[in-house]
């Protein structure tokens, strides 16, 4: 495995790890209840959903970056802009469905932490 692939893999693993750290500080330590309203009632956001969602986001970001590097003339720039737009759009989830101010703030922080790790870690420049 080359250095670039190793760095990308560590980024995709680092995003769920960072999100899980935020979740652990907010939920078990601070006592915040992360509940979201859904059409069928409410659902608590637990550690498994935090890890799975951030891992899926990381793998999707890596796949998009790989496709752009193959076919786009400026893959790093296109990927970064796309990733930032997706991050901003993802914030509508917590803003519209979180049950309570504390849950909203924690869920926004989770999105921002995962987004920051992925945007900064997956963006790479070609020499």
Nearest residue to 120 (alpha-carbon basis) of 7, 1, 40:
7
Say if residue 51 is exposed, middle or buried (CB neighbours under 10 Å; 0-12, 13-18, 19+).
middle
Tens digits of pLDDT across the chain (127 residues): 888 889 999 999 999 999 999 999 999 999 999 999 988 889 999 999 999 999 999 999 999 999 999 999 999 899 999 999 999 999 999 998 888 999 999 999 999 999 999 999 998 654 3
Spatial neighbors of 94 by CB under 8 A, at least 6 apart, are 36, 103, 104, 107, 108, 110, 111
Report domain extents, the chain. 3-122
Q: What is the value of pTM for the model shown?
A: 0.92
Instruction: Dig out the tokens for 38 from the structure.
Output: 């859904």
């Amino acid at each position: 495995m080359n250095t670039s692939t190793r760095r990308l893999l560590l980024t995709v693993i680092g995003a769920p790890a960072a999100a899980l750290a935020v979740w652990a500080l907010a939920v078990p330590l601070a006592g915040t209840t992360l509940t979201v309203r859904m059409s069928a009632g409410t659902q608590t956001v637990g550690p498994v959903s935090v890890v799975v969602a951030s891992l899926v986001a990381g793998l999707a970001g890596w796949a998009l970056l790989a496709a752009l590097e193959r076919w786009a003339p400026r893959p790093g720039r296109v990927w970064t802009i796309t990733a930032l737009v997706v991050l901003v759009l993802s914030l509508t989830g917590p803003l519209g469905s979180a049950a309570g101010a504390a849950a909203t703030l924690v869920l926004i922080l989770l999105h921002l932490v995962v987004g920051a790790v992925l945007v900064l870690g997956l963006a790479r420049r070609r020499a």
